[in-house]
A and B are shown apart, each in its own frame.
Chain A
Amino acid sequence: MTVMVQEVKPAILNNSLLQRSRSLQGISFVGLSLPAAVLVAAVLIIPFSWLAWLSLFDAAGNLSAENYVRLLRPAYIESFLTTFKVAGLVTAICVLLGYPVAYLLSQLPQRAAQLLMVFVILPFWTSVLVRTYAWLVLLQRQGIINQWLLSSGLISEPLPLVHNMTGTVIGMVHVMLPFLILPLYAAMKAIDPVLLRAAANCGASPAQAFRQVFLPLSLSGLSAGIALTFVLCLGFYLTPALLGGGRVAMWSTQIADMVAKFANWGAASALSVVLLVVTGGILWGVNRFMRVPDAWGGKR
Chain B
Amino acid sequence: MQNRHVTLSALLVGAAAVAMTSGSFAANETVTIAGFGGNLQKDLRATLWQPAADKAGLSIAEETHDGLAAVRVQVQSGSPTWDLVHLGSDDCAVGGKEGLFEPLDYKVISTDGFDKRGYGEHWIATNSYSVVLAWRTDVYKDKAPQSWKDLWDTEKFPGRRALSTYPQEMLEVALMADGVAKDELYPLDSKRAFRSLDKIKSKVAVWWSSGAQSSQLIKDGEVDMMAIWGSRVASVIADGAPVSYTYQDAILGYGCLAILKGAPHAKAAQALVAGVVSPEIQARIPEMMPYYGPTNSLAFKVGKFSPEVLARSNMSPENVKKQVFLDANWWRDNTNLVREDYSLLMAN
Contact = CB atoms under 8 A, between A and B. Distances in A.
Given A74-B344, A75-B344, A140-B220, A247 B67 contact: no
Contacts of B348: 78
**4 closest pairs, A vs B, by CB?**
A246-B207, A75-B340, A263-B69, A246-B165
A249 B346 contact: yes
B341 to A, nearest CB: 7
Contact of B220 (A74, A142, A242): A142
A52 interface: no
B28 interface: no
Contact of A141 (B222, B341, B344, B347): B222
Given A249-B347, A260-B67, A262-B335, 18 more contacts: A73-B340, A75-B341, A76-B340, A78-B348, A82-B347, A140-B220, A140-B222, A141-B160, A141-B205, A163-B206, A245-B207, A246-B208, A248-B347, A249-B343, A249-B346, A260-B69, A261-B67, A263-B68
B154 interface: no
B166 interface: yes
B205 A160 contact: yes
A219 interface: no
- Most chain A CB atoms below 10 A, which of B208, B220, B222, B348: B222
B209 interface: yes
Interface string A232-259: 0000000001100111110000100101
Contact of A246 (B68, B209, B220, B335): B209
Nearest to A133: B216
B58 to A, nearest CB: 29
Contacts of B205: 141, 160, 163, 245
B54 interface: no
B69 A259 contact: yes
Nearest to B341: A75
Contact of B206 (A75, A245, A263): A245
A106 interface: no
Contacts of A160: 205
Interface string B324-347: 000000000001100111011011
Nearest to A160: B205
B72 A263 contact: yes
Interface string B159-182: 010000110000000000000000
A12 B68 CA distance: 72
Interface in B49-95: 66-69, 72
A287 interface: no
Contacts of B221: 141-142
A29 B243 CA distance: 68
B67 A142 contact: no
A142 B222 contact: yes
Interface string A148-191: 00000000000010010000000000000000000000000000
Contacts of A259: 69
Interface of B: 66-69, 72, 160, 165-166, 205-209, 213, 220-222, 335-336, 339-341, 343-344, 346-348
A249 B166 CA distance: 13
Contacts of B165: 246
A279 interface: no
B346 A247 contact: yes
Residue among A82, A257, A262, A263 with max Cβ neighbours from chain B (10 Å): A263
9 contacts: A75-B343, A75-B344, A76-B340, A245-B207, A246-B207, A249-B343, A260-B66, A262-B336, A263-B68
A262 B72 CA distance: 11
> Taking each of A73, A79, A245, which has the highest tally of chain B beta carbons within 10 Å of its own beta carbon?
A245
Nearest to A82: B347
A70 B82 CA distance: 34
B280 to A, nearest CB: 35
Nearest to A261: B67
A160 B205 CA distance: 9
Given A261-B166, A263-B68, A241 B346 contact: no
A74 B68 CA distance: 26
Contacts of B222: 140-142, 163
A82 B152 CA distance: 28
Interface in A69-108: 73-76, 78-79, 82
B143 to A, nearest CB: 21
- Of A141, A254, A257, most buried by chain B (CB within 10 Å of CB) is A141
Nearest to A76: B340
Contacts of A246: 165, 206-209, 346
Contacts of A142: 220-222
B74 to A, nearest CB: 12
Contacts of B68: 263
A89 B220 CA distance: 30
Nearest to B100: A263
B339 to A, nearest CB: 8
B266 to A, nearest CB: 22
Residue with the greatest number of chain A CB neighbours at <10 A, chosen from B68, B335, B344 = B344
A260 to B, nearest CB: 5
Nearest to A81: B347
B67 A79 contact: no
A242 B340 CA distance: 20
A263 B73 CA distance: 10
Nearest to A136: B216
Interface string A253-290: 01001011111000000000000000000000000000
Contact of B347 (A78, A140, A163, A263): A78
